[in-house]
């Protein structure tokens, strides 16, 4: 089988990174009284529900980062990306009884993807993505030979939901799930979709299909089986429930138009959320302040409202409300 590809693109994802500083300022002592407990609990309960269902990137996107720290984070991610995945040695497809060794192949002099030397082996495109890493890893295999069927002869019989297993020399095994099968004319295969960058961790299997063209010495079509890594759950529900909540901010006060508080001494804190409320009304989230910014929130009508502040970790955990600050004269 021959399949052309010279496209090698690497995609990187940016990570939010908190910067932790401590900012002290003089504050006037304010009278701290008890707000309506049911309203505070109602607000906190709703916040916890939203945090639990939101993705981590969505939780942390509200907090700013500094450019120099972001650049450093990108370099870390690039390194992690290069180290991710496995160097595959064995391929197993239980549905069609395939157990095959994996050779390493590259780009031939004519610009086409190399093929395994043995018709019962498969070939991993080594210049591309490692299986298990973010992007499109590619493995090819022969469909037949002059003597009969080859390793990928029954690849066309796979269906969405079937499993593809890869293991390295140490026995580490990862599983991919078939998403779809598509056939293309051998000179019109979408190389970017097969070999290019992706936000998911994919493995694409390629073989020949269709009528054999004796003049060109190859089949007229290419079959591509698109699969995606079967992700393991990072944290069980029980572990999430038992996760320790961060410490609440303290020394919350209102002075003129400024609501201020002390930073929490915890390297995992990425920022703070400010909540604002009034008599007999639920508190509302009105601001998100990054950990490296001044611990203040400006409100021209600050003396008319009550406030509390929570701290947020880079994992998205939110602390309990701080002590609630009330204005001396609330309408």
For residue 75, being part of any structural domain is answered with: no
Q: Do 217 and 130 lie in a common domain? A: yes
Highest mean pLDDT among 4-13, 49-58, 262-271: 262-271
Residue carrying structure tokens 């002290």: 24
For residue 187, being part of any structural domain is answered with: yes
Nearest to residue 306, comparing CAs of 37, 64, 26? 37
Q: Do 300 and 180 lie in a common domain? A: no
Residue 259 β-bridge partners: 254, 297
Q: Do 166 and 288 lie in a common domain? A: no
Domain boundary among 181, 201, 229: 229
Average pLDDT over every residue of 109-135: 90
CA 314 distance to own-chain centroid: 14
Q: Could you tell me the pLDDT band of residue 243, with boundaries at 50, 70 and 90?
A: low
CATH number of the domain enclosing 267: 2.60.40.10
Q: Do 219 and 289 lie in a common domain? A: no
pLDDT of amino acid 187:
79
CA gap 297, 294 in Å, rounded: 9
For residue 76, being part of any structural domain is answered with: no
Q: Do 220 and 266 lie in a common domain? A: no
Q: Do 106 and 185 lie in a common domain? A: yes
| 35 secondary structure, DSSP code | -
For residue 283, being part of any structural domain is answered with: yes
Maximum distance among all alpha carbons in the chain?
A: 93
pLDDT of amino acid 48:
64
Q: Do 216 and 146 lie in a common domain? A: yes
pLDDT of amino acid 60:
53
Is residue 229 within 8 Å of 201, Cβ to Cβ? yes
Average pLDDT over every residue of 44-69: 55
Residue 177 β-bridge partners: 163, 228
pLDDT at 2 over 70: no
Residue 148 β-bridge partners: 145
pLDDT of amino acid 315:
80
- Quick: pLDDT tens for 295-304: 999 999 888 8
Nearest to residue 153, comparing CAs of 188, 117, 205, 201? 205
**Domains: count for the chain:** 2
Domain boundary among 229, 259, 282: 229
Q: Do 51 and 168 lie in a common domain? A: no
Task: Determine which helix (DSSP H) or strand (DSSP E) holds 312, and give its type and residue range.
Answer: strand 306-313
Q: Do 130 and 59 lie in a common domain? A: no
- Quick: pLDDT tens for 188-204: 889 889 998 888 999 99
Nearest to residue 330, comparing CAs of 31, 43, 27? 31
Domain boundary among 168, 201, 229: 229
Is residue 11 within 8 Å of 135, Cβ to Cβ? yes
Q: Which of 36-45, 192-201, 215-224 has the lowest mean pLDDT?
A: 36-45
Decide which of 232 and 209 is more confident: 209
For residue 7, being part of any structural domain is answered with: yes
- Quick: pLDDT tens for 267-290: 889 899 999 888 777 888 999 999
Q: Do 107 and 190 lie in a common domain? A: yes
pLDDT at 229 over 90: yes
Q: Do 220 and 92 lie in a common domain? A: yes
pLDDT at 219 over 80: no
For residue 73, being part of any structural domain is answered with: no
Highest mean pLDDT among 76-80, 242-246, 323-327: 323-327
CA gap 136, 139 in Å, rounded: 10
pLDDT of amino acid 217:
66
What average pLDDT is seen over the chain? 77
Q: Do 278 and 331 lie in a common domain? A: yes
pLDDT of amino acid 210:
75
Average pLDDT over every residue of 134-154: 91
pLDDT at 42 over 90: no
CA gap 45, 32 in Å, rounded: 22
For residue 111, being part of any structural domain is answered with: yes
Kindly list the strands in the beta sheet with 269-277, ordered across the sheet, starting from the edge strand earlier in the chain.
Answer: 284-290, 269-277, 306-313
For residue 59, being part of any structural domain is answered with: yes
Domain of residue 168 covers 3-11+82-229
Nearest to residue 316, comparing CAs of 234, 251, 259? 234
pLDDT of amino acid 147:
86
CA gap 283, 305 in Å, rounded: 10
CATH number of the domain enclosing 159: 2.40.260.10
């Amino acid at each position: 089988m021959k399949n052309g590809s010279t496209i090698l693109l690497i995609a990187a994802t940016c990570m939010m990174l908190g910067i932790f500083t401590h900012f002290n300022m003089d504050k006037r002592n304010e009278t701290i009284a008890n707000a309506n407990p049911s309203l505070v609990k109602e607000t906190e309960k709703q916040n916890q529900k939203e945090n639990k269902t939101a993705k981590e990137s969505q939780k942390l996107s509200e907090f700013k980062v500094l450019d120099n720290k972001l650049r450093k984070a990108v370099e870390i991610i690039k390194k992690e990306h290069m180290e991710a995945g496995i160097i595959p040695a064995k391929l197993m497809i239980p549905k069609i009884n395939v157990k095959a060794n994996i050779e390493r192949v590259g780009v031939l002099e004519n610009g086409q993807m190399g093929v395994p030397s043995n018709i019962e082996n498969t070939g991993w495109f080594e210049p591309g993505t490692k299986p298990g890493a973010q992007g499109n890893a590619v493995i090819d295999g022969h469909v037949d030979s002059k003597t009969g069927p080859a390793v990928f002869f029954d690849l066309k019989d796979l269906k969405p939901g079937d499993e593809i297993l890869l293991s390295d020399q140490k026995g580490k095994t990862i599983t991919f799930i078939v998403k779809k099968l598509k056939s293309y004319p051998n000179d019109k295969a979408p190389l970017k979709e097969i070999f290019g960058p992706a936000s998911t961790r994919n493995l694409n299997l390629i073989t020949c299909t269709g009528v054999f063209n004796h003049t060109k010495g190859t089949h007229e079509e290419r079959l591509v089986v698109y699969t995606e890594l079967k992700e393991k759950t990072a944290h069980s529900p029980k572990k999430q429930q038992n996760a320790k909540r961060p410490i609440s901010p303290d020394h919350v006060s209102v002075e003129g138009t400024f609501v201020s508080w002390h930073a929490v001494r915890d390297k995992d804190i990425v920022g703070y959320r400010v909540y604002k409320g009034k008599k007999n009304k639920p508190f509302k989230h009105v601001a998100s302040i990054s950990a490296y910014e001044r611990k203040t929130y400006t409100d021209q009508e600050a003396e008319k409202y009550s406030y509390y502040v929570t701290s947020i970790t880079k994992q998205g955990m939110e602390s309990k409300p701080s002590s609630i600050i009330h204005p001396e004269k609330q309408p």
